Structure 1
Amino acid sequence: MSLKHGLLGLLTLRKSSGYDLSKLFQESLSFFWVANQSQIYRELDKMESLGWVVSSKVEQDARPNKRVYGITKEGNAELIRWLKEENAEDLAVARNPLLMKLFFSGKVDREYAIALLKNYRKICEEARAEIAAEVKEIGDVPETAEKPAYWLYATEYSVRQYDFQIKWIDETIDRLERLK
């Protein structure tokens, strides 16, 4: 996935300001794709220059004016093109800073590696709890509702991924503690 396609997908749900898109992104897609607000605004500018989105200025009395973005016919076509694209090799791209650090942790004290894993475990537990709550919320929608069903499948995957990571971390810490 690319950030722009995630944003296009969110814009199929409703027109949104950059701020609202950033918030919606954090509430839904951040379980499997990380983006900060400045990245989102940069992508919106690029997508507008490509004709995939249009924006309009909305004046507000009590707050600063905002830009509201909507997906265009061209943007929707790009989203559909991307969804149908056969790019299996791109789907398997893995970047994991934790594993990169662990791979070279033989260069530092073993306690560093154990502390690194324990800290990451806490992060995994917190993220898993947050996603599990989202799964429960999505799961309350009838399975016949097509969009929520796909959302449920993606978030369930994230929960299982965190379950695996927590189990793997526990096993790895145990093995590191038994090293001579």
Structure 2
Amino acid sequence: MKGGAVMEPREAYPITYSILGLLAIWGPLSGYDIKRLFDHMLSSMWGAAQSQIYKELRRMREIGWVEMEREEQESRPDRKLYSITAEGLSALRKWQTQPPEVFQLRDEMLLKMLFGSFARSADLAQSLRASIAEHETRLLVYRQNTQAIAGAFPRGDKRYNPYSDENAEDPYFGLVTHFAVEFEKTYLRWLYEALELVESREKPAPSDMGES
């Protein structure tokens, strides 16, 4: 077909497999539930807007990777609950055989620091303090990640893991949580070091008041 590339109906992206993975572990879930899990569970590695999630759910339903059922509610509109299908689970497993893309860190604070010679030291220090506050909050959230996920759904259901015993902890979830915590601790150390250097450049040079 002329006039530009056409997206294959089964073309998938990291957000696609993220949703499939959440449904495989937690499902069935609503789009709102999936967004909450993205915010609590995946924010350290992948973010997603509500509109992106619903777009992917519609597309995956069309290609047979998820199915949807309506759950009636007395005082609210019906909930649309999505579940992963056998074909969706197969796609999730196939994705695991593909090599991941090379890690790329995109961080505006690093860019600001790289071009710090074009900034006032006071402005750079202010940006660093804001980043410190943000990453200290993120570190606290990640340290509480397991508890946050456990309380994310008041249904009382246990998190389903098809590869472990019913009462076993998921070791892979723990590994990623550990990475998120260690990354934030490392980044915070660097931020404090950078702030110390920048603040030292703010101080005026000592005057030679002893000279006549």
Length-normalised TM-score, structure 1: 0.86
- The match for 2:124 is 113
Which structure has more relative contact order (CA 8 Å, sep 6+)? It is 2
Q: Which runs of 4+ in 1 moved over 4 A?
A: 135-138, 143-147
Q: Does the 8 Å contact 2:121/2:201 carry over to 1?
A: no
Cα deviations across residues 114-155 of structure 1 (Å, max 9, x unaligned)? 1111101111111111111225789xxxx9866621111100
Change (3 A) 1:68 1:136: closer
* Partner residue of 1:69 out of 68, 74, 82: 82
Q: Which residue type is aligned with residue 124 of structure 1?
A: H
Give distance in 2, aligned partners of 1:118 and 1:106: 18
Aligned length: 174
Cα deviations across residues 10-29 of structure 1 (Å, max 9, x unaligned)? 10122111111111222211
Cα deviations across residues 55-92 of structure 1 (Å, max 9, x unaligned)? 122332210122111111111111111112123xx141
Structure 1 or 2: more helix by fraction: 1
* Partner residue of 1:11 out of 16, 23, 30: 23
SS in 1 for 2:104: coil
Structure 1: tracts of 5 or more residues without a match: none
Matched, 1:60 2:69: no
Give distance in 2, aligned partners of 1:103 and 1:76: 43
Structure 2: tracts of 5 or more residues without a match: 1-12, 150-163, 203-212
Q: Does the 8 Å contact 1:135/1:156 carry over to 2?
A: no
Once the two structures are superposed, the pairs formed by residues 32-51 of structure 1 within 5 Å of their partners are 32-51=45-64
Aligned-pair identity in percent equals 28
